[in-house]
Structure 1
């Protein structure tokens, strides 16, 4: 049996069919975002630069106006450690100024009943006297010192009495707190009777108040209040 021969036109037709089939095949898929294009290029092309944005928004007046000088860069404020001033030291108390003046010392007018001065127990009065001018810085110490140093019962020809003349007392110091002066003594009282107790206390308190310009006084003897010490007499 003889095979049918294919003519040249038949071969050409078949080839043409294959070529047409290749042209109308499935379309090539479009590239996705995961393609090899660099991300930085896509971002830079999408967003305009700062220079382009400024030039786009600037009006025609801005392009013809004089150039504006940029303000100087603000410097950071100094730290608190360097800005805060150093604390000012508290002034040191160097003592009272030295002065020369008479001292006020109190003695007792027995039976005066408050006529010549403040009235105290047993119907007596306290009377202030003045000494010769004395040099001092703190007046309390010298005033109490003059009172305790007087070892005479009678104060000259004045008729006044010093009930502390037999006592052996020493002034240790004093302090002023507001309007109250406190003095500290050491030693022993030697008094002549019950009426000498308010007299001795008043002499010390009023002399201390006059020297310090205080309105009240407290007296401690050997670390104890004077009322407690004199209550044993």
Structure 2
């Protein structure tokens, strides 16, 4: 039996196919559905508009609404204002006490009563916070009629009076006394009143004074003396 003979063209074509197959290799397999798609990592941004198109951000974690557990450390006390000191500052100064210059006719001080003058004197330095109390108490504690060698007179020297309290309202100082007056005559009434009022005004820096004795105005009490 005679074999079919290959033509020269067929041989050349077959040889070319073998050469191409050795150079390029078999064709690459087609991608399957199980191949993972490449992931794209978005760079962090501060604004939603800056995110790349087509990239979906992961949802933010929900905020917790549960209250935070109490701390074991003691809470700091709230800030408080500085305490305001009560009353007047303590100071040391002489006290001003008023006595009477009998029949001086206002030459040495304010004219009072029966043609007399009221004269201011000073004590040795005294420590105090409220000057009214020590001033009135110093006046009432003096049990001498004459005031040294000054020639001044203290008409309250026989009276049994005690200081019970005082209050400054505006420019008026009010003082309260307890006890009884013991005076030497009708002219001692304005003298006693003036000594108390002027001593209280000087101590409080007031321009007027009211004096009460056992809860009653001094004028009423002295009218019965």
TM-score by length of 2: 0.63
Q: How does 1:200-211 map to 2 (within 5 A)?
A: 200-211=192-203
Name the CA distance, whole Å, in 2 between partners of 1:90 and 1:123: 55
Quick one: which of 109, 119, 135 aligns to 1:117? 109
SS in 2 for 1:171: strand
Quick one: which of 209, 215, 220 aligns to 2:212? 220
SS in 2 for 1:169: strand
Is 1:96 paired with 2:96?
A: no
Name the CA distance, whole Å, in 1 between partners of 2:195 and 2:85: 30
Q: Would you identify which runs of 4 or more consecutive aligned residues in structure 1 move more than 2 Å?
A: 88-93
Q: Which residue of 1 aligns with 2:153?
A: 161
State the Cα distance separating 1:123 from its structure 2 match: 0.3
Number of corresponding residues: 151
Q: Which residue of 1 aligns with 2:184?
A: 192
Larger helix percent: 1
Name the CA distance, whole Å, in 2 between partners of 1:154 and 1:92: 45
Name the CA distance, whole Å, in 1 between partners of 2:119 and 2:172: 21
Q: How does 1:1-233 map to 2 (within 5 A)?
A: 67=49, 94-233=86-225
Q: Which residue of 2 aligns with 1:54?
A: none
Q: Which residue of 1 aligns with 2:26?
A: none
Unaligned ranges ≥5, structure 2 = 1-47, 51-77
State the Cα distance separating 1:91 from its structure 2 match: 6.5
SS in 2 for 1:122: coil
1:93 to 1:188, Cα distance in 2 relative to 1, 3 A: farther
Unaligned ranges ≥5, structure 1 = 1-65, 69-85
Q: Which residue of 2 aligns with 1:79?
A: none
Name the CA distance, whole Å, in 2 between partners of 1:90 and 1:219: 38
Superposition RMSD in Å: 2.1
SS in 2 for 1:187: strand
1:126 to 1:94, Cα distance in 2 relative to 1, 3 A: same
State the Cα distance separating 1:95 from its structure 2 match: 1.4
State the Cα distance separating 1:89 from its structure 2 match: 8.2
